[in-house]
Structure 1
């Protein structure tokens, strides 16, 4: 992390102790040279993180902008759906004894933020914090489908498409076709795309205004897979997703 970024964060931290300050007060509290604080405050103002109030040429103060409310809202929502989802994940796990996971999109990757493991001798284990590219696996592909067509094109032009497993999609047009299929049916399935010898299926988690904030999925070893088992698990997963949607206020 660059020194300028660290110092900018230190400047922002000062406002947690005193909400409104002049440059002199901010420099003293941050223990930095006034010229440095002035430069950092200007950059934070330009980014929309600080508001400058000018009463006179000699009476200028700074305060945090309401943009932080937006950041806080997103963090709050993430904590909310994690907490709600985990309860239903455990219920589903008790019923089917398979790996259940919740995945979010962070940048150009999918991140597994919650998992409930199977107790079966042969099972897939995914650690919280594990990452995957958005083009490989049921949950990552589902998150990818939430992008607009323009965002998808940008992503596919930026990312290096690599084989992670037997059936990983690495052709841009085939990925676009898969995304369109997911959008139409409302869920995602993968067969040995991110992990070898596994089958994954995922449904979206929507918040109150219909935005996809995460994906909830089931992953099983392919030796346990049959078409009947797949349909059974998809039905159970859809019902679980609906319970989470309803608690988050999404009822469409």
Structure 2
């Protein structure tokens, strides 16, 4: 494998971790033999990896992979599985609502759309798989922000500049905070002209087996179709579908 122009510390760290693909446990001398990293530097790197949870040092002084990898592994598997689990429900939801259906997850400080089913309507709301959106804008991203741990949510709000994307984008941070509290209270989010003028969306959270919100499911379309009794009908549809996907992921109320 070529590592041209890569950070040498990162490369050495990866060399250490790669050894545990073939070895369950390794001693300091063994790691030094395989990596050829000077003992002092190697010990410093191993100590840092233990402190961060990437490695564990047992009572005998041997090293093994830490629980952090278990967490990351579960997260990656969860995110890969959710598309396959959600897709049949999304197809049914699209047929029931005849609106576009979107599935989004949190990726850093943005929402990323990982699955989409288009509506049969001639005029469609533009969203593509892989599209990113600010967490404060639109019903689907806002679900991810609303159900973040409080400290993370506040940090995001404090550090994020609210930029206008359309006529209805929330630009006041206190208004955003109030909206997030309401989303958590009712269990869904509604947006009108926040990321694109004359478009609306309704969204609901998807939970994993530990009760954590890991994705959001939404219906999106032209605002003229998201009003009155039909809006309430769409809210009920998306909440029911999100609960079904959550249940298939192991969530229990």
Q: Which moved more, 1:233-242 or 1:34-43?
A: 34-43
Kindly tell me: are residues 173 and 51 of structure 1, through their superposed partners in 2, closer, same or farther at Cα, counting changes over 3 Å? same
Query: Unpaired runs of 5+ in structure 1?
Result: none
Q: Which moved more, 1:207-216 or 1:26-35?
A: 26-35
Q: Distance in 2 between the 1:16 and 1:222 partners?
A: 52
> What is the TM-score of this pair, normalised by structure 2?
0.87
State whether residues 134 and 141 of structure 2, in contact with CA within 8 Å, keep that contact through their aligned partners in structure 1: yes
Equivalence for 2:19: 14
Q: How many aligned positions are there?
A: 248
1:92 aligns to 2:93 (yes or no)? yes
Structure 2: 5+ residue stretches without partners: 1-5
With over 3 angstroms needed to count, the CA separation of the structure-2 counterparts of 1:238 and 1:21, relative to structure 1, is: same
- Counterpart for residue 70 of structure 1: 71
Q: CA 1:66–1:151 in 2, change beyond 3 Å: closer, same or farther?
A: closer
What SS does the aligned partner of 2:148 have?
coil
1:25-64 to structure 2, matched below 5 A, reads 25-30=30-35, 32=37, 34-53=39-58, 55=60, 60-64=61-65
| Pair 1:172-2:173 in alignment | yes
Change (3 A) 1:31 1:220: farther
Go from structure 1 to structure 2 and tell me whether the alpha carbon gap of 1:90 and 1:107 turns closer, same or farther (over 3 Å shift): same
Answer whether contact 1:99 1:125 (CA < 8 A) is retained: no
TM-fit CA distance, 1:250: 2.7
- For 2:8, the equivalent position in structure 1 comes to 3
Q: 1:135 — aligned with what?
A: 136
**Alignment RMSD:** 2.2
State the 1:189 CA deviation. Answer: 0.4
1:205 and 2:206 aligned? yes
